[in-house]
């Protein structure tokens, strides 16, 4: 059973009893949920366990820094109708639900998701789909939230059929944690519901540590990929979770082994109460340099920053070329040696 109460976490040995009051204060503000699959991954004897750090609430979440904001990437500024975020010309986010199977402690939408948060009503869904239908430059619809794969196969299939009826939409993409959080729910029926005749479906899987890709998760992923649905990855660079070249290398290789193409490594957003997770951009660039020198090109994600205020994401990885008037260009190789390129 999914644990949602701080008292349940203490009983399960996932949090110390003397922290119960702090955890209760966190849970009053931010949703808590840890599924059995993830609870089983947590090493109760390791106070720095990287899985626990991602999902077990901490009193540090009660500390909000001056630069943090409730809507760190500016969803609201680009929401023409409820449930739609239209930040880039050819694609929109469709936020069907505002609940998740698990709640990441670093979530950039943490103020907007959780039990009791506003969800799309039938009328709001109609309005959202109408906006997509009357905006012909929309080529891709990205289902997010919340997590769209918490829906039943029946309900998800109904929404996908309605999106598929919009001729100018060619790509449907799902952003999800569910294959990691509850791999048993990735049933053949749910996989079928994600597909639509004449459209291409992609699934972006969020995972941050190689231990998350258990045999059960790999089987769930295989059900998706074997059905002809390509998968890409999304990860967040998190202090104490994956901020080492060794861990990132293992994670990216594990994605590739699962037939998931590494896609984005996100710099931590300025969500409230998450400063204890954020690295510096310089640290992230250093890690990307280390990846470039040690893992296959198949295993290289793009390190990106979502500019606060809704101005979009940009790559912020290290640079390797310096244009010089005299030399033409100086290029740095993977070992840090500068080479002339005329």
User: Which of 19, 22, 25, 88 is labelled catalytic?
Assistant: 88
User: Which of 91, 117, 170, 289 is labelled catalytic?
Assistant: 91
The answer to whether residues 137 and 86 touch, using CB atoms and an 8 Å cutoff, is no
- Partners of 304 in the β-ladder: 266, 315
The answer for residues whose C-beta is within 8 angstroms of residue 28's C-beta and 6 or more apart is none
93 and 117 belong to one structural domain: yes
236 and 114 belong to one structural domain: yes
Instruction: Please say if the pLDDT value at position 325 is more than 60.
Output: no
57 and 192 belong to one structural domain: no
295 and 163 belong to one structural domain: yes
CA distances 142 to 33, 170, 224, 266, Å, are 24, 11, 17, 17
pLDDT value of position 118: 72
Give pLDDT tens digits for 186-243. Answer: 999 999 999 999 999 999 999 999 999 999 999 999 999 999 999 999 999 999 999 9
Give me 318's structure tokens. 């290290």
26 and 174 belong to one structural domain: no
Angle at 298 (CA atoms; ends 294, 299), nearest 5 degrees = 50
Alpha-carbon distance 151 to 271, whole Å? 26
Give me 265's structure tokens. 């490594």
Which residue range(s) make up the domain with 280?
64-317
- Split at pLDDT 50, 70, 90, the class of 296 is very high
- Per-residue pLDDT averaged across 85-108, rounded? 96
Instruction: Please say if the pLDDT value at position 50 is more than 80.
Output: yes
258 an active-site residue? no
Q: Is residue 90 part of a domain?
A: yes
User: Which of 105, 243, 269, 303 is labelled catalytic?
Assistant: 269
111 and 98 belong to one structural domain: yes
219 and 73 belong to one structural domain: yes
User: Which of 100, 105, 177, 264 is labelled catalytic?
Assistant: 100
- Per-residue pLDDT averaged across 51-72, rounded? 95
87 an active-site residue? yes
Per-residue b or e along 46-60, where b marks 16 or more CB atoms closer than 10 Å to that residue's CB: eeebbbbbbbbbbee
CA distances 261 to 96, 137, 176, 179, Å, are 25, 27, 15, 16
- Per-residue pLDDT averaged across 117-144, rounded? 95
Alpha-carbon distance 113 to 324, whole Å? 49
C-alpha 96 chain-centroid distance? 16
Instruction: Please say if the pLDDT value at position 298 is more than 60.
Output: yes
Q: Is residue 94 part of a domain?
A: yes
- Split at pLDDT 50, 70, 90, the class of 145 is confident
User: Which of 104, 131, 177, 243 is labelled catalytic?
Assistant: 104
84 and 122 belong to one structural domain: yes
User: Which of 49, 147, 243, 306 is labelled catalytic?
Assistant: 306
Q: Is residue 100 part of a domain?
A: yes
Q: What number of other Cβ atoms are within 10 A of residue 283's Cβ? A: 14
100 an active-site residue? yes
Domain boundary residue, one of 27, 45, 62: 62
- Split at pLDDT 50, 70, 90, the class of 245 is very high
Alpha-carbon distance 225 to 154, whole Å? 20
- Partners of 306 in the β-ladder: 313
Question: Taking the model in full, what pTM does it have?
Answer: 0.95
79 and 44 belong to one structural domain: no
Burial class of residue 156, CB neighbours in 10 A (0-12, 13-18, 19+)? buried
159 and 259 belong to one structural domain: yes
pLDDT value of position 165: 97
Torsion of CA 233, 234, 236, 241, to 10 degrees: -30
User: Which CATH number belongs to the domain containing residue 144 in this structure?
Assistant: 3.20.20.70
Give me 159's structure tokens. 């929404």
Alpha-carbon distance 70 to 109, whole Å? 8
C-alpha 120 chain-centroid distance? 21
121 and 260 belong to one structural domain: yes
Q: How many residues does the chain have?
A: 342
C-alpha 89 chain-centroid distance? 21
Q: Is residue 306 part of a domain?
A: yes
pLDDT value of position 283: 98
101 and 217 belong to one structural domain: yes
pLDDT value of position 183: 98
109 an active-site residue? yes
- Per-residue pLDDT averaged across 261-266, rounded? 98
User: Which of 109, 173, 177, 261 is labelled catalytic?
Assistant: 109
Give the whole-number percent of the chain exceeding pLDDT 70: 99
253 an active-site residue? no
Domains: count for the chain: 2
Strands lying side by side in the sheet with 338-340: 321-324, 328-332, 338-340
269 an active-site residue? yes
333 an active-site residue? no
pLDDT value of position 269: 95
Q: Is residue 119 part of a domain?
A: yes
pLDDT value of position 333: 85
User: Which of 87, 95, 173, 177 is labelled catalytic?
Assistant: 87
324 an active-site residue? no
Q: Is residue 92 part of a domain?
A: yes
> Long-range contacts of range 152-160, CB-CB < 8 Å, 24 or more positions apart?
153/187, 153/189, 153/190, 153/192, 153/193, 154/193, 156/190, 156/193, 156/194, 157/192, 157/193, 159/96, 159/125, 160/193, 160/194, 160/195, 160/196
User: Which of 103, 107, 177, 303 is labelled catalytic?
Assistant: 107
């Amino acid at each position: 059973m999914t644990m949602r109460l701080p008292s349940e976490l203490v009983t399960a040995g996932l949090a110390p009893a003397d922290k119960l009051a702090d955890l209760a204060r966190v849970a009053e503000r931010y949703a808590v949920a840890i599924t059995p699959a993830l609870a089983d991954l947590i090493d109760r004897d390791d106070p720095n366990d990287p899985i626990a750090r991602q999902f077990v609430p901490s009193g540090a979440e009660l500390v909000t820094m001056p630069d943090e904001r409730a809507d760190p990437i500016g969803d609201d500024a680009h929401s023409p109708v409820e449930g739609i975020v239209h930040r880039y010309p050819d694609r929109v986010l469709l936020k069907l639900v505002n609940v998740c199977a698990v709640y990441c402690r670093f979530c950039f939408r943490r103020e907007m998701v959780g039990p009791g948060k506003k969800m799309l009503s039938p009328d709001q869904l109609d309005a959202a789909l109408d906006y997509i239908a009357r905006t012909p430059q929309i080529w891709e619809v990205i289902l997010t939230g919340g997590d769209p794969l918490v829906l039943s196969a029946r309900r998800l299939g109904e929404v996908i059929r309605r999106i598929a009826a919009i001729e100018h939409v060619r790509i449907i993409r799902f952003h999800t944690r569910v294959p990691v959080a509850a791999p048993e729910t990735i049933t053949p029926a749910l996989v079928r519901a994600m597909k639509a005749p004449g459209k291409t479906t992609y699934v972006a899987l969020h995972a941050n540590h190689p231990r998350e890709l258990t045999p059960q998760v790999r089987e769930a992923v295989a059900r998706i990929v074997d059905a002809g649905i390509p998968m890409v990855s999304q990860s967040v660079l998190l202090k104490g979770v994956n901020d080492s070249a060794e861990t990132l290398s293992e994670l990216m290789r594990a994605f590739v082994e699962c037939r998931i193409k590494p896609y984005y490594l996100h710099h931590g957003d300025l969500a409230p109460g998450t400063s204890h997770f954020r690295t510096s951009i310089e640290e992230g660039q250093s890690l990307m340099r280390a990846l470039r020198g040690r893992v296959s090109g198949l295993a290289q994600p793009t390190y990106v920053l979502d500019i606060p205020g809704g101005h979009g994401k940009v790559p912020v990885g290290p640079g390797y070329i310096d244009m010089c008037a005299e030399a033409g260009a100086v290029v740095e190789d993977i070992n840090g040696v500068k080479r002339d390129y005329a």
